[in-house]
Amino acid sequence: MPIIQGVRANLPTDEITAWGLARFEAGQKNVTEPHFHDCDEYVFMLEGRMVMRSEGIVYTLEPRDVLVTRMGDEHEILEIQEDTVYFWMETALRGKKRPGHLLRGRDDR
Domain spans of the chain?
A: 16-91
Residue pLDDT, tens place only, 85-106: 999 999 999 999 999 999 998 8
Tell me the DSSP string of 9-57.
Answer: PPPS-SSEEEEEEEEE-TT-BS-S-SBB-SS-EEEEEEEEEEEEEETTE
- Report CA 82 to chain centroid distance, whole Å: 18
Banded pLDDT at 8 (limits 50, 70, 90)? low
Q: CATH code for 16-91?
A: 2.60.120.10
CA 14 to chain centre: 18
Gap between the Cα atoms of 35 and 10, Å rounded = 27
Q: What integer is the mean pLDDT of 42-63?
A: 96
> At residue 7, does pLDDT exceed 60?
no
Give CA–CA dist 49/84, Å, rounded: 6
